[in-house]
Amino acid sequence: MRGQLRSQIEFGNEGKGTGARACAGYLRIKVRRSETAATVHEMIPPLETAVIREAASRALGEDRGPADITTLACIKFDTQASARIFAKETGVLAGMPVAEQVFREQDISLVLTEKARDGVTLKPGETVLEISGSAAAILTAERCALNFLQQLSGVATQTRRFVEAVAGTKARILDTRKTVPGLRALQKYAVVCGGGVNHRMGLYDRFLIKDNHLALMGTGDRLGEAIRAARALDPDAVLEVEVDRIDQIPDIITRGVDVLLLDNMSLEEMRSCVALIAGRAATEASGNMTLERVPEVARTGVDFISVGSLTHSVRAIDFSLEIEGRKA
């Protein structure tokens, strides 16, 4: 795990234990901005089957309930149909595995033909999925499948905008834990589809020591105690510490942390921190990151920029399902 970070960042204190531990949680995927769409798709790690099935089943159960009474009243049970799902606007596709699973959950006999793959940029009118089989099953599953595609493609599209905004710098765009409850794995997958990088998946896979942790630890060398306790609990986990003042850097950088989170700092403060850290730890900028601001933030020399809005307030990309044929 520790060697993974060195493929992304050259540490100034290689092998000496100061900031040289790997931040593997940042690096679940490496998507170069110059890669073709097909190559980008190949580099997207697949969603776990259990995640896909649980999400599809939960969404369909919520929407359908005991029965789709409108379809039950209007559509004969043996009516067959064909349909397509297509994009109504430009965007980056994400969510195909779970959208397809929605249809399978409703009727395993439906024939699904994938016409586009996650990670590609869609044009208006472009077909992403063709479906044929039971007309009733297609209608019942339609909305849930579209909801997943719209929401997750919105995340991927917004992520791609941020990734393109920092092109030409070493900065990588990170997501956060500010996700829709119950959709974290899917939204973080969508971030990767857009070319971003996953931060920690939850509270269990990385240490992030913040002011509130230290405030509740009593007196004395609270930071030193926190770092020692964290290393004792899990020596291999990435250890990140939040800082909000430049004068904190000289002390913290000697304590062997992996990442320094520069929270709500000005551009000049970030540049000063990067200079002081001098490659001895990775740097993450956080706080009020907008598309307009991130290019300047990236040019300060930080390694990562975390953006909560990738998942907490994203606009959906519009998709539609169109019935193309009917057979009674």
130 is catalytic: no
Nearest of 139, 39, 124 to residue 317 by alpha carbon: 124
Asked if 99 and 149 count as a contact pair (C-beta separation under 8 A), the reply is yes
- Per the rule left: phi > 0, alpha: psi between -120 and 50, beta: everything else, 5 is alpha
206 is catalytic: no
- Rounded CA Rg of the chain: 23
210 is catalytic: yes
178 is catalytic: yes
Q: Which of 64, 117, 143, 222 is catalytic?
A: 143
Q: Which of 54, 263, 269, 318 is catalytic?
A: 263
Distance (Å) of CA 179 to CA 52, 287, 328: 17, 16, 44
Strand partners of residue 320: 86
Q: Which of 210, 222, 255, 299 is catalytic?
A: 210
68 is catalytic: no
Q: Which of 105, 240, 242, 303 is catalytic?
A: 242
Nearest of 204, 201, 190, 197 to residue 304 by alpha carbon: 197
- What DSSP letter does each residue of 50-84 carry, written as one string? HHHHHHHHHHHHHHHTT--HHHHHHS-TT-EEEEE
Q: Which of 53, 64, 178, 271 is catalytic?
A: 178
Q: Is 134 helix (H, G, I), strand (E, B) or coil?
A: strand
Catalytic residues: 143, 178, 210, 242, 263
